[in-house]
Amino acid sequence: MSPAREDPFMPSGLRLMCVHAHPDDESSKGAATMAKYVDAGVEVLVVSCTGGERGDILNPRLKGDPAILRDLAQVRRDEMRAAQEVLGVAHTWLGFVDSGLPEGDPLPPLPEGCFAREPIEVTAQALVREIRRFRPHVVTTYDEQGGYPHPDHIMCHDVSTAAFDAAGDPERFPTAGPAWQPLKLYYNGGFSRARIEAYHQAMLDEGLESPYAEWLTRMGERPQRRVTTRIECAQWFERRDAALLAHATQIDPDGWFFSLSREIQARVWPWEDYEAAASVVPVVEIEDDLFAGLPSPAEADSLARSRPVLAYDARVGREAAV
């Protein structure tokens, strides 16, 4: 991190926006990174595109609870509030409706009016409005495959990249606020083969049964995403886990995620990974900071207002704008 931000809890003037599909995604993807930046004085805003209305109760201890079943949407809003407080981030709902994960053969059509069926102009405008209000220097989202193939995760990618491209152009969505170009766009890295292998080996070394063997087999030799940026954040794993557990209906406290102790995780994989997608400054691998290469906060603000040209664009099907 730059010297200006080494004093913990001092406002840094930097802003990070993390766009997610459902409440709970922010706690399972990049949560320790966010908590670390919050403690370094960075303003962090989580945007949840949908309310998670079509999710199931995934915690066996809470399955069938009538108080939860009566209004799962409200329960999930309350859980999100609790997770937000643990992480110390700001939070906003984009207001779209969960598309649900379609199941069956053939797959049923997505429900009318859901997030994944909204026109991109509508969803992008909503996110452009948030970008121009919060004025992030860095935005994180999912890769073009959604990180995992839920229609809302893929739409989250589509809307984030469309909004990233449009927010700096005053002629796009002129009623959505003054133009602001975020300076970098990242994809959350998640569970790479290397990370799962490290966890798997650690379980075996401890003489424990590894829940990761099957995952590795399923993964096969599938091509891996690129890692451009690695944030060391083991110190914040406890906050990450507390935020995850705050989404009580969505996480099984006895599940695989908690089978490996935090101490071992910190030893074998103390990072969260990211893939740079687009940037107005060159990306020099391996970065250890999502703000790497950016000028001082004041200069970054002027840059974001000046319609800067991208120096780096690794997005599929796009050429660098230079």
- What CA–CA distances, in Å, run from 230 to 153, 157, 279? 22, 20, 16
Strands, E assignment, 180-314: 184-188, 229-232, 271-279, 312-313
Does 300 contact Zn ion by CB under 5 A?
no
Choose between 147 and 182: whose C-beta lies nearer to Zn ion. Answer: 147
Taking the complex as a whole, the smallest distance from the CB of residue 185 to Zn ion amounts, in Å, to 19
Task: Burial-class residue 164 by CB neighbours within 10 Å (0-12, 13-18, 19+).
Answer: buried
Choose between 21 and 260: whose C-beta lies nearer to Zn ion. Answer: 21
Site string for Zn ion, 106-145 (x = CB under 5 A): ----------------------------------------
Beta strand pairing call for 15-20 and 184-188: unpaired
Taking the complex as a whole, the smallest distance from the CB of residue 80 to Zn ion amounts, in Å, to 12
Site string for Zn ion, 237-276 (x = CB under 5 A): ----------------------------------------
Q: Is 245 helix (H, G, I), strand (E, B) or coil?
A: helix
Stretch that binds Zn ion, among 10-18, 23-31, 183-191, 290-298 (CB under 5 A): 23-31
Among 5, 22, 135, 225, binds Zn ion (CB under 5 A): 22
- Neighbour count for residue 90 (Cβ, 10 Å): 15
Q: How many residues bind Zn ion (CB under 5 A)?
A: 3
> What span, in angstroms and rounded, lies between the C-alpha atoms of 270 and 185?
23
Stretch that binds Zn ion, among 11-19, 24-32, 170-178, 295-303 (CB under 5 A): 24-32
HSE-up of 306 (CA within 13 Å, CB side)? 10
Taking the complex as a whole, the smallest distance from the CB of residue 21 to Zn ion amounts, in Å, to 4
The two structure tokens encoding residue 222: 């599938």
Stretch that binds Zn ion, among 14-22, 31-39, 103-111, 220-228 (CB under 5 A): 14-22
> What span, in angstroms and rounded, lies between the C-alpha atoms of 315 and 276?
9
Choose between 25 and 301: whose C-beta lies nearer to Zn ion. Answer: 25
Among 14, 18, 19, 21, binds Zn ion (CB under 5 A): 21
Q: Is 321 helix (H, G, I), strand (E, B) or coil?
A: coil
Among 15, 18, 25, 244, binds Zn ion (CB under 5 A): 25
Taking the complex as a whole, the smallest distance from the CB of residue 247 to Zn ion amounts, in Å, to 11
Taking the complex as a whole, the smallest distance from the CB of residue 179 to Zn ion amounts, in Å, to 30
Choose between 142 and 237: whose C-beta lies nearer to Zn ion. Answer: 142
Stretch that binds Zn ion, among 5-13, 16-24, 36-44, 96-104 (CB under 5 A): 16-24
Q: Is 223 helix (H, G, I), strand (E, B) or coil?
A: coil
**Nearest residue by C-beta to Zn ion?**
22
> What span, in angstroms and rounded, lies between the C-alpha atoms of 79 and 166?
32
The two structure tokens encoding residue 96: 């779209």
Choose between 52 and 168: whose C-beta lies nearer to Zn ion. Answer: 52
Contacting residues for 50 by C-beta, under 8 A, at least 6 apart: 21, 22, 94, 96, 97, 98, 99, 115, 152
- Residues forming contacts to Zn ion in the complex (CB under 5 A) are 21-22, 25
